[in-house]
Amino acid sequence: MHNFDFAKPSTIADAARALAAEGAQALSGGQTLIPTMKQRLAAPSVLVSLTGIKEMQGVCLGEGGLHVGAATPHAVVAKEARAHYPALADLAGGIGDPSVRSRGTIGGSIANNDPAACYPSAVLASGATVVTNKRRIAADDYFQGLFTTALEAGEIVTSVIFPIPQKAAYVKFNQPASRFALTGVFVAKFASGVRVAVTGAGNDGVFRWAEAERALSADFSASALSGLSVDPAGMNSDLHGSAEYRANLVKVLTGRAVTAAG
Amino acid sequence: MTKVSMTVNGKAVSGEVEGRTLLSSFLREGLGLTGTHVGCDTSQCGACVVHVDGKPVKSCTVFAADVAGASVRTIEGMANPDGSLSVIQQAFQDHHGLQCGFCTPGMVMSTAALLAENPKPTEAEVRHYLDGNICRCTGYHNIVKAVMAASGQDVSALAAE
Protein backbone atom coordinates (compact mmCIF):
# COMPACT_ATOMS: atom_id res chain seq x y z
CA MET A 1 0.00 0.00 0.00
CA HIS A 2 1.26 3.47 -0.81
CA ASN A 3 1.68 5.69 2.20
CA PHE A 4 -0.50 8.72 2.93
CA ASP A 5 -1.02 11.42 5.51
CA PHE A 6 -3.70 10.52 8.01
CA ALA A 7 -6.18 12.99 9.47
CA LYS A 8 -8.95 12.32 11.96
CA PRO A 9 -11.09 15.43 12.42
CA SER A 10 -13.83 15.55 15.05
CA THR A 11 -16.29 17.78 13.18
CA ILE A 12 -17.88 17.70 9.72
CA ALA A 13 -16.53 21.19 9.00
CA ASP A 14 -12.96 20.13 9.77
CA ALA A 15 -13.38 17.01 7.65
CA ALA A 16 -14.59 19.08 4.71
CA ARG A 17 -11.56 21.35 5.05
CA ALA A 18 -9.20 18.34 5.19
CA LEU A 19 -10.88 16.82 2.12
CA ALA A 20 -10.15 19.96 0.12
CA ALA A 21 -6.47 18.94 0.00
CA GLU A 22 -5.06 17.60 -3.27
CA GLY A 23 -5.48 13.80 -3.46
CA ALA A 24 -7.57 13.61 -0.28
CA GLN A 25 -10.07 10.82 0.21
CA ALA A 26 -12.61 10.14 2.96
CA LEU A 27 -12.21 6.98 5.04
CA SER A 28 -15.19 5.59 6.90
CA GLY A 29 -15.09 2.01 8.19
CA GLY A 30 -12.52 1.13 5.53
CA GLN A 31 -13.85 -2.37 4.89
CA THR A 32 -13.78 -1.75 1.15
CA LEU A 33 -11.31 1.10 0.88
CA ILE A 34 -8.46 -0.54 2.80
CA PRO A 35 -8.48 -3.75 0.69
CA THR A 36 -8.70 -1.52 -2.41
CA MET A 37 -5.66 0.45 -1.26
CA LYS A 38 -3.74 -2.76 -0.54
CA GLN A 39 -4.25 -3.68 -4.18
CA ARG A 40 -3.11 -0.19 -5.16
CA LEU A 41 -6.38 0.39 -6.95
CA ALA A 42 -6.65 3.51 -4.80
CA ALA A 43 -3.73 5.58 -3.59
CA PRO A 44 -4.93 8.74 -1.83
CA SER A 45 -2.26 11.10 -0.60
CA VAL A 46 -4.38 12.17 2.36
CA LEU A 47 -6.88 9.95 4.14
CA VAL A 48 -9.50 11.71 6.23
CA SER A 49 -11.11 9.40 8.77
CA LEU A 50 -14.77 10.17 9.48
CA THR A 51 -15.03 7.74 12.39
CA GLY A 52 -14.24 10.34 15.03
CA ILE A 53 -17.13 12.66 14.15
CA LYS A 54 -19.78 12.28 16.83
CA GLU A 55 -22.50 14.16 14.93
CA MET A 56 -22.34 11.45 12.22
CA GLN A 57 -23.02 8.60 14.66
CA GLY A 58 -26.19 6.94 15.80
CA VAL A 59 -29.79 6.15 14.89
CA CYS A 60 -32.81 8.20 15.95
CA LEU A 61 -36.37 9.00 14.91
CA GLY A 62 -36.75 12.49 13.51
CA GLU A 63 -38.48 14.55 10.89
CA GLY A 64 -39.09 12.44 7.79
CA GLY A 65 -38.41 9.09 9.42
CA LEU A 66 -35.42 7.26 10.79
CA HIS A 67 -32.19 9.25 10.77
CA VAL A 68 -29.05 7.13 10.50
CA GLY A 69 -25.73 8.88 10.99
CA ALA A 70 -23.46 8.13 8.05
CA ALA A 71 -20.60 6.90 10.24
CA THR A 72 -22.82 4.47 12.15
CA PRO A 73 -21.46 0.92 11.86
CA HIS A 74 -23.71 -1.82 10.50
CA ALA A 75 -23.76 -3.61 13.88
CA VAL A 76 -25.16 -0.50 15.55
CA VAL A 77 -27.85 -0.04 12.88
CA ALA A 78 -28.76 -3.73 13.27
CA LYS A 79 -29.40 -3.08 16.94
CA GLU A 80 -30.75 0.46 17.10
CA ALA A 81 -32.99 0.39 14.00
CA ARG A 82 -34.65 -2.84 15.12
CA ALA A 83 -37.59 -1.26 16.97
CA HIS A 84 -38.31 1.29 14.22
CA TYR A 85 -37.47 -0.31 10.90
CA PRO A 86 -36.83 -4.05 11.31
CA ALA A 87 -36.16 -4.71 7.61
CA LEU A 88 -33.36 -2.15 7.67
CA ALA A 89 -31.97 -3.72 10.85
CA ASP A 90 -32.09 -7.14 9.18
CA LEU A 91 -30.19 -5.85 6.18
CA ALA A 92 -27.52 -4.19 8.33
CA GLY A 93 -27.17 -7.33 10.46
CA GLY A 94 -26.57 -9.47 7.38
CA ILE A 95 -23.79 -7.48 5.74
CA GLY A 96 -20.44 -9.26 5.52
CA ASP A 97 -19.60 -10.84 8.86
CA PRO A 98 -19.54 -9.61 12.47
CA SER A 99 -16.08 -8.04 12.22
CA VAL A 100 -17.02 -6.19 9.04
CA ARG A 101 -20.21 -4.98 10.75
CA SER A 102 -18.18 -3.55 13.65
CA ARG A 103 -16.39 -1.18 11.29
CA GLY A 104 -18.27 -0.76 8.02
CA THR A 105 -20.72 2.15 7.81
CA ILE A 106 -23.79 3.11 5.83
CA GLY A 107 -22.15 6.30 4.60
CA GLY A 108 -19.13 4.41 3.33
CA SER A 109 -21.33 1.86 1.62
CA ILE A 110 -23.47 4.31 -0.28
CA ALA A 111 -20.60 6.67 -1.09
CA ASN A 112 -18.82 3.75 -2.71
CA ASN A 113 -22.01 2.37 -4.34
CA ASP A 114 -20.65 -1.09 -5.05
CA PRO A 115 -23.09 -2.77 -7.44
CA ALA A 116 -23.38 -5.75 -5.06
CA ALA A 117 -23.58 -3.84 -1.77
CA CYS A 118 -26.70 -4.29 0.37
CA TYR A 119 -27.37 -0.74 1.60
CA PRO A 120 -28.08 0.95 -1.75
CA SER A 121 -31.16 -1.26 -2.14
CA ALA A 122 -32.57 -0.15 1.21
CA VAL A 123 -31.90 3.51 0.48
CA LEU A 124 -33.50 3.30 -2.96
CA ALA A 125 -36.48 1.12 -1.99
CA SER A 126 -37.24 3.32 1.01
CA GLY A 127 -37.09 6.48 -1.08
CA ALA A 128 -34.61 7.74 1.50
CA THR A 129 -32.92 11.12 1.50
CA VAL A 130 -29.13 11.26 1.47
CA VAL A 131 -27.96 14.20 3.55
CA THR A 132 -24.52 15.63 2.84
CA ASN A 133 -22.56 18.53 4.26
CA LYS A 134 -23.88 20.60 1.32
CA ARG A 135 -27.41 19.45 0.44
CA ARG A 136 -30.11 16.79 0.50
CA ILE A 137 -30.29 14.30 -2.35
CA ALA A 138 -33.28 12.04 -3.10
CA ALA A 139 -32.31 8.38 -3.45
CA ASP A 140 -33.70 8.32 -6.99
CA ASP A 141 -31.18 11.02 -7.97
CA TYR A 142 -28.30 9.77 -5.85
CA PHE A 143 -27.35 6.40 -7.38
CA GLN A 144 -25.95 6.93 -10.88
CA GLY A 145 -24.39 3.63 -11.91
CA LEU A 146 -21.43 1.45 -10.99
CA PHE A 147 -19.48 3.06 -8.16
CA THR A 148 -21.02 6.36 -9.26
CA THR A 149 -23.17 8.73 -7.20
CA ALA A 150 -24.36 12.32 -7.24
CA LEU A 151 -21.65 13.23 -4.72
CA GLU A 152 -19.22 15.91 -5.78
CA ALA A 153 -15.51 15.82 -4.96
CA GLY A 154 -15.02 16.36 -1.25
CA GLU A 155 -18.74 16.12 -0.46
CA ILE A 156 -19.46 14.08 2.68
CA VAL A 157 -22.55 11.97 3.32
CA THR A 158 -23.50 12.92 6.87
CA SER A 159 -26.73 10.97 7.37
CA VAL A 160 -29.51 9.10 5.63
CA ILE A 161 -33.19 9.72 6.41
CA PHE A 162 -35.41 6.69 5.86
CA PRO A 163 -39.19 7.09 5.56
CA ILE A 164 -40.57 4.09 7.43
CA PRO A 165 -42.75 1.81 5.29
CA GLN A 166 -45.84 -0.06 6.44
CA LYS A 167 -44.20 -3.33 5.48
CA ALA A 168 -40.75 -4.16 4.17
CA ALA A 169 -38.20 -6.94 3.82
CA TYR A 170 -34.77 -7.52 2.33
CA VAL A 171 -33.82 -10.92 0.95
CA LYS A 172 -30.40 -11.63 -0.47
CA PHE A 173 -28.81 -14.54 -2.20
CA ASN A 174 -25.35 -14.62 -0.71
CA GLN A 175 -22.19 -14.93 -2.71
CA PRO A 176 -20.48 -16.93 0.02
CA ALA A 177 -16.86 -16.14 -0.86
CA SER A 178 -17.20 -12.37 -0.95
CA ARG A 179 -20.24 -12.22 1.40
CA PHE A 180 -21.72 -9.63 -0.94
CA ALA A 181 -25.13 -10.12 -2.51
CA LEU A 182 -25.12 -12.18 -5.70
CA THR A 183 -28.55 -10.61 -5.91
CA GLY A 184 -30.54 -8.86 -3.20
CA VAL A 185 -34.03 -7.37 -3.28
CA PHE A 186 -35.51 -4.80 -0.90
CA VAL A 187 -39.29 -4.41 -1.02
CA ALA A 188 -40.98 -1.53 0.81
CA LYS A 189 -44.75 -0.97 0.94
CA PHE A 190 -45.90 2.59 1.62
CA ALA A 191 -49.42 4.02 1.65
CA SER A 192 -48.49 5.66 -1.65
CA GLY A 193 -47.34 2.43 -3.29
CA VAL A 194 -44.65 -0.24 -3.32
CA ARG A 195 -40.98 0.30 -4.16
CA VAL A 196 -38.69 -2.55 -5.19
CA ALA A 197 -34.92 -2.07 -5.39
CA VAL A 198 -32.49 -4.67 -6.65
CA THR A 199 -28.77 -4.90 -5.91
CA GLY A 200 -26.10 -7.30 -7.19
CA ALA A 201 -27.91 -8.10 -10.41
CA GLY A 202 -28.00 -5.03 -12.64
CA ASN A 203 -24.99 -4.24 -14.80
CA ASP A 204 -25.42 -0.57 -13.96
CA GLY A 205 -25.74 -1.01 -10.20
CA VAL A 206 -28.79 -0.81 -7.96
CA PHE A 207 -32.09 -0.28 -9.80
CA ARG A 208 -35.86 -0.16 -9.24
CA TRP A 209 -37.99 -2.87 -10.84
CA ALA A 210 -40.88 -0.74 -12.09
CA GLU A 211 -43.14 -3.58 -13.37
CA ALA A 212 -43.00 -5.33 -10.00
CA GLU A 213 -43.74 -2.05 -8.21
CA ARG A 214 -46.90 -1.58 -10.30
CA ALA A 215 -48.03 -5.18 -9.79
CA LEU A 216 -47.36 -5.14 -6.06
CA SER A 217 -48.98 -1.76 -5.55
CA ALA A 218 -52.19 -3.32 -6.92
CA ASP A 219 -51.80 -6.64 -5.10
CA PHE A 220 -49.12 -7.03 -2.43
CA SER A 221 -48.57 -10.76 -2.77
CA ALA A 222 -45.89 -12.94 -4.33
CA SER A 223 -48.42 -14.30 -6.81
CA ALA A 224 -48.84 -10.81 -8.27
CA LEU A 225 -45.39 -11.29 -9.84
CA SER A 226 -46.26 -14.51 -11.64
CA GLY A 227 -46.73 -12.97 -15.08
CA LEU A 228 -43.60 -10.81 -14.91
CA SER A 229 -40.10 -11.48 -16.11
CA VAL A 230 -36.81 -9.61 -15.96
CA ASP A 231 -34.81 -9.03 -19.14
CA PRO A 232 -31.36 -10.69 -18.77
CA ALA A 233 -29.93 -8.07 -21.13
CA GLY A 234 -29.44 -5.64 -18.27
CA MET A 235 -28.01 -8.17 -15.83
CA ASN A 236 -24.46 -8.89 -14.68
CA SER A 237 -22.89 -12.13 -15.75
CA ASP A 238 -19.86 -13.74 -14.13
CA LEU A 239 -18.60 -17.13 -13.01
CA HIS A 240 -20.94 -17.02 -10.01
CA GLY A 241 -24.10 -16.62 -12.05
CA SER A 242 -25.17 -15.91 -15.61
CA ALA A 243 -27.35 -12.97 -16.60
CA GLU A 244 -30.30 -15.35 -17.04
CA TYR A 245 -29.72 -16.79 -13.57
CA ARG A 246 -29.61 -13.35 -12.00
CA ALA A 247 -32.73 -12.25 -13.89
CA ASN A 248 -34.54 -15.24 -12.43
CA LEU A 249 -33.14 -14.52 -8.96
CA VAL A 250 -34.57 -10.99 -9.10
CA LYS A 251 -38.07 -12.38 -9.54
CA VAL A 252 -37.68 -15.22 -7.04
CA LEU A 253 -36.17 -13.00 -4.35
CA THR A 254 -38.75 -10.27 -4.88
CA GLY A 255 -41.45 -12.85 -4.24
CA ARG A 256 -39.67 -14.07 -1.13
CA ALA A 257 -39.26 -10.51 0.13
CA VAL A 258 -42.97 -9.82 -0.36
CA THR A 259 -43.82 -12.99 1.56
CA ALA A 260 -41.33 -12.12 4.30
CA ALA A 261 -42.78 -8.61 4.59
CA GLY A 262 -46.16 -10.24 5.31
CA MET B 1 5.47 8.92 11.25
CA THR B 2 3.10 9.81 14.02
CA LYS B 3 2.91 8.57 17.55
CA VAL B 4 -0.14 6.56 18.54
CA SER B 5 -1.13 5.46 22.00
CA MET B 6 -3.73 2.88 22.95
CA THR B 7 -4.45 0.32 25.60
CA VAL B 8 -3.61 -3.25 24.63
CA ASN B 9 -4.65 -6.05 26.97
CA GLY B 10 -4.99 -3.56 29.79
CA LYS B 11 -1.56 -1.97 29.34
CA ALA B 12 -0.92 1.52 27.98
CA VAL B 13 1.25 1.25 24.87
CA SER B 14 2.49 3.67 22.26
CA GLY B 15 4.58 3.59 19.12
CA GLU B 16 5.49 5.36 15.92
CA VAL B 17 3.34 4.47 12.91
CA GLU B 18 2.90 5.52 9.32
CA GLY B 19 -0.57 6.37 8.08
CA ARG B 20 -0.68 3.02 6.30
CA THR B 21 0.36 0.94 9.32
CA LEU B 22 -2.36 -1.63 9.91
CA LEU B 23 -3.44 -2.49 13.42
CA SER B 24 -2.25 -6.07 12.78
CA SER B 25 1.22 -4.76 11.86
CA PHE B 26 1.34 -2.47 14.88
CA LEU B 27 0.44 -5.36 17.19
CA ARG B 28 2.78 -7.89 15.63
CA GLU B 29 5.77 -5.82 14.56
CA GLY B 30 5.45 -2.83 16.85
CA LEU B 31 4.51 -4.61 20.05
CA GLY B 32 5.72 -8.16 19.34
CA LEU B 33 2.26 -9.58 19.94
CA THR B 34 2.46 -12.23 17.24
CA GLY B 35 -0.51 -14.22 18.51
CA THR B 36 -2.67 -12.17 16.16
CA HIS B 37 -2.24 -14.00 12.87
CA VAL B 38 -2.42 -12.55 9.37
CA GLY B 39 -3.86 -15.25 7.17
CA CYS B 40 -5.08 -13.63 3.99
CA ASP B 41 -4.52 -9.88 4.44
CA THR B 42 -7.63 -9.40 2.25
CA SER B 43 -10.32 -9.26 5.00
CA GLN B 44 -11.61 -12.73 4.20
CA CYS B 45 -10.20 -15.16 6.74
CA GLY B 46 -10.61 -13.67 10.21
CA ALA B 47 -7.33 -15.01 11.66
CA CYS B 48 -6.45 -11.43 12.66
CA VAL B 49 -9.63 -10.68 14.63
CA VAL B 50 -9.02 -8.64 17.78
CA HIS B 51 -11.41 -6.59 19.91
CA VAL B 52 -11.42 -2.80 19.67
CA ASP B 53 -13.44 -1.26 22.48
CA GLY B 54 -15.11 -4.63 22.93
CA LYS B 55 -16.08 -5.13 19.29
CA PRO B 56 -14.51 -7.72 16.99
CA VAL B 57 -12.58 -6.25 14.08
CA LYS B 58 -10.24 -7.59 11.43
CA SER B 59 -7.00 -5.96 12.50
CA CYS B 60 -5.61 -6.26 8.95
CA THR B 61 -8.42 -3.95 7.80
CA VAL B 62 -8.06 -1.15 10.33
CA PHE B 63 -5.34 1.50 10.43
CA ALA B 64 -3.52 1.72 13.75
CA ALA B 65 -3.81 5.50 13.66
CA ASP B 66 -7.59 5.24 13.31
CA VAL B 67 -7.94 3.40 16.64
CA ALA B 68 -5.56 5.59 18.63
CA GLY B 69 -6.88 5.88 22.17
CA ALA B 70 -8.92 2.69 21.91
CA SER B 71 -8.85 -0.32 24.17
CA VAL B 72 -7.62 -3.34 22.22
CA ARG B 73 -7.73 -6.96 23.32
CA THR B 74 -5.76 -9.68 21.57
CA ILE B 75 -5.36 -13.42 22.05
CA GLU B 76 -2.49 -12.65 24.44
CA GLY B 77 -5.05 -11.04 26.74
CA MET B 78 -7.44 -13.98 26.80
CA ALA B 79 -5.86 -16.28 29.42
CA ASN B 80 -6.88 -16.00 33.05
CA PRO B 81 -4.77 -13.68 35.24
CA ASP B 82 -2.92 -16.69 36.71
CA GLY B 83 -1.89 -17.80 33.21
CA SER B 84 -4.31 -20.72 32.98
CA LEU B 85 -6.46 -21.04 29.89
CA SER B 86 -9.76 -19.15 29.83
CA VAL B 87 -13.01 -21.07 29.53
CA ILE B 88 -13.09 -20.53 25.75
CA GLN B 89 -9.46 -21.52 25.25
CA GLN B 90 -9.89 -24.60 27.44
CA ALA B 91 -12.98 -25.62 25.47
CA PHE B 92 -11.02 -25.40 22.21
CA GLN B 93 -8.39 -27.70 23.72
CA ASP B 94 -10.90 -30.11 25.27
CA HIS B 95 -12.97 -30.48 22.09
CA HIS B 96 -10.09 -30.48 19.63
CA GLY B 97 -11.28 -27.16 18.21
CA LEU B 98 -7.99 -26.65 16.43
CA GLN B 99 -5.88 -28.66 14.06
CA CYS B 100 -2.98 -26.60 12.70
CA GLY B 101 -4.00 -23.76 15.01
CA PHE B 102 -3.43 -20.90 12.60
CA CYS B 103 -7.03 -19.65 12.63
CA THR B 104 -7.43 -20.24 16.37
CA PRO B 105 -6.60 -16.74 17.66
CA GLY B 106 -9.29 -15.26 15.43
CA MET B 107 -11.73 -18.03 16.27
CA VAL B 108 -11.23 -17.46 19.99
CA MET B 109 -11.63 -13.69 19.67
CA SER B 110 -14.78 -14.04 17.56
CA THR B 111 -16.14 -16.59 20.02
CA ALA B 112 -15.53 -14.21 22.92
CA ALA B 113 -17.38 -11.47 21.04
CA LEU B 114 -20.28 -13.83 20.26
CA LEU B 115 -20.67 -15.06 23.84
CA ALA B 116 -20.50 -11.50 25.17
CA GLU B 117 -23.60 -10.57 23.17
CA ASN B 118 -25.29 -13.98 23.09
CA PRO B 119 -24.25 -16.15 26.06
CA LYS B 120 -26.22 -19.25 24.98
CA PRO B 121 -26.15 -19.35 21.17
CA THR B 122 -27.72 -22.14 19.15
CA GLU B 123 -25.50 -24.19 16.87
CA ALA B 124 -26.93 -22.28 13.89
CA GLU B 125 -26.13 -18.96 15.55
CA VAL B 126 -22.56 -20.08 16.21
CA ARG B 127 -22.07 -21.11 12.60
CA HIS B 128 -23.58 -17.85 11.36
CA TYR B 129 -21.44 -15.73 13.67
CA LEU B 130 -18.23 -17.49 12.63
CA ASP B 131 -19.02 -16.79 8.96
CA GLY B 132 -16.01 -14.50 8.72
CA ASN B 133 -13.53 -16.91 10.29
CA ILE B 134 -12.10 -19.48 7.92
CA CYS B 135 -10.42 -22.70 9.09
CA ARG B 136 -8.40 -24.13 6.22
CA CYS B 137 -8.11 -27.45 8.03
CA THR B 138 -11.94 -27.39 7.76
CA GLY B 139 -12.21 -28.28 11.43
CA TYR B 140 -15.51 -26.52 11.83
CA HIS B 141 -17.49 -29.24 13.61
CA ASN B 142 -15.15 -29.27 16.58
CA ILE B 143 -14.79 -25.50 16.58
CA VAL B 144 -18.56 -25.17 16.83
CA LYS B 145 -18.59 -27.83 19.50
CA ALA B 146 -15.93 -25.96 21.47
CA VAL B 147 -17.92 -22.71 21.25
CA MET B 148 -21.08 -24.47 22.42
CA ALA B 149 -19.16 -26.08 25.29
CA ALA B 150 -17.61 -22.75 26.25
CA SER B 151 -21.12 -21.35 26.55
CA GLY B 152 -21.87 -24.02 29.14
CA GLN B 153 -24.20 -26.05 26.93
CA ASP B 154 -24.32 -29.81 26.58
CA VAL B 155 -22.47 -30.80 23.42
CA SER B 156 -22.83 -34.57 23.64
CA ALA B 157 -25.45 -34.59 20.85
CA LEU B 158 -23.43 -32.44 18.43
CA ALA B 159 -21.69 -33.76 15.32
CA ALA B 160 -19.11 -36.45 15.90
CA GLU B 161 -15.46 -35.58 16.33
Ranges in chain A annotated CATH 3.30.390.50: 167-261
* Domain A5-49 CATH class label: alpha beta
Contact state of A102 with B49 under an 8 Å Cβ cutoff: no
Interface size A-B, in CB pairs within 8 Å, comes to: 76
Question: Within a domain: residue B68?
Answer: yes
φ, ψ of residue A103 in degrees (nearest 5): -110, -45
* B101 and B65 together in one domain: no
* B57 and B98 together in one domain: no
pLDDT at B160 over 60: no
| pLDDT tens digits for range A50-102 | 999 999 999 999 999 999 999 999 999 999 999 999 999 999 999 999 999 99
Instruction: State the smallest CA–CA distance between residue A11 and chain B in angstroms.
Output: 15
pLDDT at A207 over 60: yes
* B64 and B106 together in one domain: no
Q: Is A99 on the interface with B (CB under 8 A)?
A: yes
* B8 and B66 together in one domain: yes
* B51 and B95 together in one domain: no
ipTM of model = 0.94
CB B50 within 8 Å of CB B27: yes
Answer with the one of B29, B45, B77 that is the final residue of a domain: B77
* B73 and B37 together in one domain: yes
Q: What residue numbers bound the domain in which B8 lies?
A: 2-77
* B73 and B137 together in one domain: no
* B37 and B66 together in one domain: yes
pLDDT at B161 over 60: no
Q: What is the mean pLDDT of chain B?
A: 96
Given B41, B55, B133, which is nearest A102 (Cβ)? B55
- Helix B104-117 vs helix B140-150: angle between axes, to the nearest 10 degrees? 40
In this prediction, residues B28-32 reach a mean pLDDT of: 97
Contact state of A51 with B57 under an 8 Å Cβ cutoff: no
* Domain A54-162 CATH class label: alpha beta
| pLDDT tens digits for range B54-86 | 999 999 999 999 999 999 999 999 999 999 999
Contact state of A99 with B42 under an 8 Å Cβ cutoff: no
C-alpha span between A209 and A203 (Å, rounded): 14
Contact state of A35 with B42 under an 8 Å Cβ cutoff: yes
Among A41, A97, A180, the strongest candidate for a mutation testing the B interface, having the largest count of B CBs within 10 A, is: A97
pTM summary value: 0.95
- CATH fold of A167-261, please? Enolase-like; domain 1 (3.30.390)
Contact state of B62 with A51 under an 8 Å Cβ cutoff: no
